[in-house]
Amino acid sequence: MLCLRKPLACLVVLGVLGGAVSVAGEPAPTPPASTRVEMKRRIEALKGRTARLPLPVPTAEEAASGRSLVNNGRLRRTYLPASWTGFVIPGWGGGSSRSRPASTAAVLKTLQASPDYAFKTRLFWVVSRGNDCQYCLGHQELKLRRAGMQDDQIAALDCRWELFPQNEQAALAFTHKLTRSPHKLNEADITRLKTHFNDKQIIDIAYTVARYNAVNRWTASTGIPQDQSFGGEEQTELETPTSPEFANVPSLVAPLDVPARPDWESPQELEAALAEARTRTPLVELPAVDASKAVIAADTPGATPPVWLRAMSELPIALEAWRQRQGLVRDGQTDAKLRAQITYVSARENRAWYAAGHARTRYLALGGDEQALASFAALEQAATTPGHAEALRFARKLTSAPHTIVDDDVERLKAHFSNHEIAEIIDVTCDANGFDRFTEVLRLPLES
How is the chain split into domains, by residue range?
34-59+68-247, 267-441
What does residue 195 show for φ and ψ, rounded to 5 degrees? -65, -25
Q: How confident is the model at residue 391 (pLDDT cuts 50, 70, 90)?
A: very high
pLDDT of residue 124: 98
First to last CA, the chain: 38
Higher-confidence residue: 96 or 142? 142
295-327, pLDDT tens digit by residue? 999 889 989 999 999 999 999 999 999 999 999
Average pLDDT, the chain: 89
Q: Using CA atoms, how far apart are residues 210 and 13, in angstroms rounded to an integer?
A: 26
231-241, pLDDT tens digit by residue? 666 668 999 99
Q: Angle at the Cα of 44 (from 40 to 50), degrees rounded to 5?
A: 135
Report helix, strand or coil for 26.
coil
Q: Using CA atoms, how far apart are residues 45 and 226, in angstroms rounded to an integer?
A: 8
Q: CATH code for 267-441? A: 1.20.1290.10
* Total-model pTM: 0.91
Q: Using CA atoms, how far apart are residues 351 and 127, in angstroms rounded to an integer?
A: 19
pLDDT of residue 298: 86
Does 335 score more than 90 pLDDT?
yes
Closest to 218 in 3D by CA, of 84, 63, 323: 84
Q: How confident is the model at residue 20 (pLDDT cuts 50, 70, 90)?
A: very low
Identical fold between 34-59+68-247 and 267-441: yes
Q: How confident is the model at residue 376 (pLDDT cuts 50, 70, 90)?
A: very high
What is the second-level CATH architecture of the domain 34-59+68-247?
Up-down Bundle (1.20)
